[in-house]
C-alpha cells in the first residue's frame, strides 16, 4: 500500500489562497495527497474564495480557517521522513524536484519573476 503524500498550504489568515489551494489539490488529486491548510492568524474563509471555486465545481463551503497550531504533531515536512538513509535522501530529493519544477514552471516561466 502506497502512503499518500501530505501537503500543507500555509498563509497568514487561512481565508483565501491557502483554502483555495487546499480545495483545488483535493479536487484534482485528492486520492494521491492528504491536504490541509492553516494560518498563523486565522480569520474566516472568505465568501468569494468559496464562490470562485464553486464556479469550477470545487466545494469548500464546509472549510473553516484553522490555526497552524491545530496541526502540530502532524508530519508534512520531508524532515520527518523515516526509513533507511537512502529512503530519507529519496524523500528530500522528491520534495526538491517537485518544488523546483513548480517554481520553474509557474513562477519563472510563467512570467511572475526573473531568473532560472
pLDDT in tens, 90-106: 988 988 898 788 878 88
**CATH 3.40.50.2300 for the 1-76 domain, yes or no:** yes
Q: Are 12 and 38 in contact (CB under 8 A)?
A: no
Segments of the chain assigned E as strands: 5-11, 33-39
% of the chain surpassing 70 pLDDT: 92
pLDDT digits (tens, 9 = 90+) for 20-53: 999 999 999 878 889 999 999 999 999 999 999 9
pLDDT at 99: 77
- For the cut 80, the answer to whether the pLDDT of residue 6 exceeds it is yes
Nearby residues of 8 by Cβ (< 8 Å), 6 or more positions away: 36, 37, 38, 71, 76
Confidence at residue 2, expressed as pLDDT on a 0 to 100 scale: 55
Cβ(44)–Cβ(73) below 8 Å: no
d(CA 38, CA 64) in angstroms, rounded, equals 9
Task: Dump pLDDT digits (tens) for 53-103.
Answer: 999 999 999 999 999 999 988 888 877 788 999 999 998 898 889 878 887
E strand or H helix at 46, and its extent?
A: none
Q: In the chain, what are the domain boundaries?
A: 1-76, 77-116
Amino acid at each position: 500500500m502506497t502512503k499518500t503524500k501530505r501537503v500543507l498550504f500555509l498563509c497568514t489568515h487561512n481565508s483565501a489562497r491557502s483554502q483555495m489551494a487546499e480545495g483545488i489539490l483535493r479536487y484534482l488529486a485528492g486520492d494521491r495527497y492528504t491536504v490541509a491548510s492553516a494560518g498563523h492568524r486565522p480569520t474566516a474563509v472568505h465568501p468569494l474564495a468559496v464562490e470562485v471555486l464553486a464556479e469550477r465545481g470545487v466545494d469548500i463551503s464546509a472549510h473553516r480557517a484553522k490555526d497552524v497550531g491545530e496541526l502540530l504533531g502532524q508530519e508534512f515536512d520531508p524532515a520527518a521522513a523515516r526509513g533507511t538513509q537512502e529512503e530519507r535522501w529519496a524523500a528530500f530529493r522528491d520534495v526538491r524536484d517537485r518544488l523546483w519544477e513548480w517554481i520553474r514552471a509557474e513562477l519563472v516561466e510563467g512570467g511572475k519573476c526573473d531568473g532560472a
